[in-house]
Structure 1
Amino acid sequence: MPGVLPDGEPVPTDGSLPPQALAEPELTGTPLAFYIHVPYCATRCGYCDFNTYTASELGGGASQATYAATAIEEVRLARKVLGGADLPVQTVFFGGGTPTMLPAADLVALLGAVRDEFGLAAGAEVTTEANPESVDPAYLARLREGGFTRISFGMQSAREHVLKILDRRHTPGRPEACVREAREAGFEHVNLDLIYGTPGESDDDWRASLDAAIGAGPDHVSAYSLIVEDGTRLAARVKRGELPMIDDDVHADRYLIAEEALAAAGFSWYEVSNWAASPAGRSRHNLLYWTGANWWGVGPGAHSHVGGTRWWNVKHPSAYSQRIAAGQSPAHAREVLDAEDRRVERILLELRLDSGCAVSLLRPAGRKAAIRAAGEGLLDARSLAEGFAVLTLKGRLLADAVVRDLVD
């Protein structure tokens, strides 16, 4: 099971926010996004520690069949909490779990609730994650007709033995077919998620996965190093010695292989783990996260941020449903970020982007660290001279260490 929710201060039962979170320009001067969490999966992947539940894990008091109606009530709560301000939503992202375990009509209804309560900005981006085995052409066509503009498939690997270690259910080749079916349904923007560093994966396996992903024709690829999270089945297998732990040098080599293959195919990195074939292919929703926008997270365990206040919902679907049914906020706790918190978060997030973070965010010690990092080839010297700390390829491999030095 996923870890325990963090501590924080209590949230009023009506979900009301501190006055400063709703003040100008915190609210209307900042883009608004919605994240909608669907906490269901057919099976739990061995590496997953997300807030998701299989049928056997749900217990009583929660129904997948009524989930959309319950989540719609939280969208309506969001409208009450944020008041009557004109807040057209820029992006909506359905994540999980496996959102496509719900009927397409349920996802379309949830999107309709956001549209009815807030309105969607012109050209709004609407994304759902999907497991390859959970969709077919008719399902994808229904999503597209219902207003979805982007879809992200969990491919992870093209090698069967790697998928088996990850406990993925789809067969090699199915994600590539999904890209074709999504294109035929009218989706212009399609992402494939990949994972590298799985125990038992070779460099050639990773190259084959990249070749298969690129050959499928998406306009976006995400590539993440596998993190063995405590409490997962994969962690238990590693601890027992059934599987080897992959070291950092292997992860670095795999990242370089990804950069080389994706760049050769015309993809450009715009965030450390994300590549797009064009600026239009970038995930606008994730860019809003990374640049400090406002977002409301709907669903069990979902996190939200509005005007410097961050909160997170109760984790279990039954507790979430009970709160909503009682007309109460499902928020578990919250924290109000001060100016220093927000400064540090901007550095942490913006440094991961190809645009970098402004040197003006750095304190004197951080500016000295940036100059040292440029001398070591970790930051781009020309960009630094122009007032921005931008990671080089070498710097991307050591991004966490660079960030730690710059936030001092």
Structure 2
Amino acid sequence: MSPSTLPDGEPAPADGALPPTALAGQEQRPFAFYVHVPFCRVRCGYCDFNTYTAQELGGGASQSSYADTAVREVALARRVLGDVDRRVETVFLGGGTPTLLPARDLGRMLRAIGDEFGLAADVEVTTEANPDSVDLAYLTELREAGYTRLSFGMQSAVPSVLQVLDRTHDPERVPRAVEWAREAGFDQVSLDLIYGTPGESVADWETSVRAALSCGPDHVSAYALIVEDGTALARQVRRGELPMPDDDDLADKYLLADGLLAGDGLDWYEVSNWARQGSACRHNLLYWKGADWWGVGPGAHSHVGGVRWWNVKHPSAYAQRLGAGESPAHGREVLAPEDQRVERVLLELRLAEGLPRDVLDAEGAAAVPALVADGLLEEASLDGTHLVLTTRGRLLADAVVRDLLP
């Protein structure tokens, strides 16, 4: 939710005001918060997110003051949304490494959201964490502060793969972190994996998936490595020091993971995400279904009522804007109905529950029979109201979308 580059768009107003059309009926729409914490101990070579390794960045931006700045934006959100009560269904802290901040700061940011808007009785509150950034005492404090879900950045269980990714944690730290999470009272624990790292064999990947499953996670995310422009990894590939990920290798590893995860009781609910019954990430589902969310933090993106906006990228500029009583929003776009329809196809087709057929236009609907015949799509209900990717369709999801959005 906070990439290192910002999109084009129209300038956002200094006070952050939204068009009346965005605010109309907002009380009836699901609402969530994303909080971007942009600090890391080490910047990983593959990472394209808006992150910084310095503790003090100048201009009022530092790890020690970050929670204060984020709380100011939460108060701004209340004003911009018209001072209405909107029960928050999910909160997600990402980064960066949110758990580089003291647990009390994470608690303060969550408390501010609850104080301004109110939290749903069954609110899901997630923070990402590196395995080496937490211990039992830290996780216990987080749980007492109201956090309900942890997402650990495991990435791999193979030291040589972690080295290529510039990950610094010991693989043995992962099961201990999960044990501490359980001891602290967390019922929901997710592990994030990456496949396709240069030099990673299929056996290496199987080792990582089995190691993740041995921890007993409730949820697993597995993403193919993408070589992003401007990263250290991209420079290594360009110089010929590392090979580009191979599509056939990525497909083999995806199918391997899908089989192992399903065999352990984790079913896919989104192309890159698997969960045990009742453990799907509700926050991410709100994204994929086009709900409203407010993104707090430098570079964070928000969406309310068909208006999307993004904050200034650098933490110093972010802190200065809020310190001056201004919105940190840098630019925005108002999505036309056709834009919203296209996004529904792009996002909802990725879900196991599928895409409602009536979202397609005439050209997209005309492409469905051939996609079904090719074994890429299937009808998910007796009356054919939803279209779902087959296993092969998940491997070729981008191509399916291109056919549905000619």
Q: TM-score range by the shorter chain?
A: over 0.9
Residues 102-161 of structure 1: CA deviation (Å, up to 9, x unaligned): 000000000000000000011100000000110000000000000000000000000000
**d(CA) in 1 for partners of 2:4, 2:131:** 27
Name the structure 2 match of 1:242: 241
Regions of 4+ moved over 2 Å:
1-4, 56-61, 381-385
Bigger shift: residues 126-135 or 52-61: 52-61
Could you tell me which residue of structure 2 aligns to residue 289 of structure 1? 287
| 1:4 CA displacement | 3.3
CA contact (8 A) 1:88 1:118 kept: yes
Identity, % of aligned positions: 65
**Counterpart selection for 1:386 from 384, 387, 392:** 384
1:160 is matched with: 159
**Distance in 1 between residues matched to 2:22 and 2:382, nearest whole Å:** 33
| Aligned residue-pair number | 405
Residue of structure 2 in register with 1:327 after alignment: 325
Question: For residues 29 and 259 of structure 1, do their structure 2 counterparts lie closer, same or farther at Cα, with a shift above 3 Å needed?
Answer: same
**SS of equivalent residue, structure 1 residue 281:** coil
Q: How far does residue 216 in structure 1 lie from its aligned partner after superposition?
A: 0.3
Residue 55 of structure 1 is matched in structure 2 by 54
TM-score of the superposition, structure 1-length normalised?
Answer: 0.97
Between the aligned partners of 2:366 and 2:382, the Cα distance in structure 1 is 11
Preserved contact between residue 39 and residue 95 of structure 2 (Cα < 8 Å)? yes
Query: 2:363 matched to which residue of 1?
Result: 365
2:260 is aligned to: 261
How far is 1:239 from its partner?
1.1
Name the CA distance, whole Å, in 2 between partners of 1:178 and 1:87: 34
Letter in 1 for 2:243: P
CA contact (8 A) 2:354 2:387 kept: yes
| Residue of 301, 306, 309 corresponding to 1:308 | 306
Instruction: Please give the residue correspondences for 1:133-152 in structure 2 after superposition, counting only pairs within 5 Å.
Output: 133-152=132-151
Whole-Å Cα distance in 2 between the matches of residues 100 and 132 of structure 1? Answer: 10
Distance (Å, rounded) in 2 between the aligned partners of 1:226 and 1:349: 20
Q: Does the 8 A contact of 2:56 with 2:62 survive in 1?
A: no
Q: Provide Cα deviations, 1:9-68, integer angstroms capped at 9, x if missing partner.
A: 1211111100100112xx111100000000000010000010000118935542110000
Match of residue 7 from structure 2: 6
- Cross-structure match for 2:97: 98
**Cα distance in structure 1, aligned partners of 2:292 and 2:382:** 28
- Aligned residues: CA RMSD: 1.4
Q: Look up the equivalent residue of 2:102 and give its one-letter code.
A: P
1:375 is matched with which residue?
373
The residue type equivalent to 1:63 in the other structure is S
Q: Structure 1: give runs of 5+ residues left out of the alignment.
A: none
Counterpart Cα distance in 1 of 2:5 and 2:111: 32
Distance 2:203 2:364 in 1: 40
Structure-1 residue corresponding to 2:18: 17
For residues 57 and 400 of structure 1, the distance between their equivalents in structure 2, rounded to whole angstroms, comes to 41
Distance in 2, Cα, partners of 1:186 & 1:254: 33
Structure 1, 283-292 or 6-15: larger mean CA deviation: 6-15
Could you say if the C-alpha distance between residues 240 and 34 of structure 1 is closer, same or farther in structure 2, counting changes exceeding 3 Å? Answer: same
| Structure 2 residue 336 is matched with structure 1 residue 354 | no
Residues 31 and 293 of structure 1 are in contact (CA less than 8 Å); yes or no, is this contact kept in structure 2? yes
Q: CA deviation at 1:85?
A: 2.2
The reply to whether residue 89 of structure 1 matches residue 71 of structure 2 is no
What is the CA–CA distance in structure 2 between the aligned matches of 1:105 and 1:82, rounded to whole Å? 27
Q: Shift of the alpha carbon at 1:84? A: 2.8
Counterparts of residues 262-281 of structure 1 (less than 5 Å): 262-278=261-277, 280-281=278-279
Matched residue type, 1:94: L
> Are the counterparts in 2 of residues 384 and 390 from structure 1 also a CA contact under 8 Å?
no
Residue 104 of structure 2: SS of its match in structure 1? helix
Letter of the aligned partner of 2:403 in structure 1? D
**Deviation of residue 401 (structure 1)?**
0.8
- Comparing 201-210 with 174-183, greater Cα deviation is found at 174-183
In the TM superposition, what is the alpha-carbon distance from 1:407 to its structure 2 partner? 1.9
Distance 1:341 1:131, change over 3 A: same
Structure 2: state its 5+ residue gaps: none
Which AA in structure 1 matches 2:158?
R
Task: Show the counterpart of 1:396.
Answer: 394
Contact 1:359-1:384 within 8 A present in 2 as well: no
- The residue number in structure 2 matching 1:336 is 334
C-alpha deviations, 1:148-203, integer Å up to 9, x for none? 00000000000000000000010112112111110010000000000000001000
Aligned partner of 1:91: which letter? Answer: T
* Deviation of the 1:383 alpha carbon: 4.0
Conservation of the 8 A alpha-carbon contact between 2:107 and 2:142 = yes
> Greater shift after overlay, 56-65 or 257-266?
56-65
Please report how far the alpha carbon of residue 86 of structure 1 lies from its aligned counterpart in structure 2 after TM superposition: 2.3
- Contact 1:225/1:251, CA 8 A, preserved across alignment: yes
2: distance between equivalents of 1:173 and 1:63?
31
Q: CA deviation at 1:384?
A: 8.2
Q: Which residue type is aligned with residue 82 of structure 1?
A: L
Paired residues of 2:364 and 2:405 also in contact (CA < 8 A):
yes
In the alignment, what sits opposite 1:32? 31
Pair 327,57 (structure 1): closer, same or farther in 2 beyond 3 Å: closer
Separation in 2, partners of 1:285, 1:241: 39
Aligned to 2:212: 213
C-alpha distance in 1 between matches for 2:366 and 2:211:
43
CA change 1:376–1:57 in 2 (3 A) is: farther
1:282 partner SS: coil
1:318 and 2:316 aligned: yes
| Kept in 1: contact 2:274–2:280 (CA 8 A) | yes
Change (3 A) 1:233 1:255: same
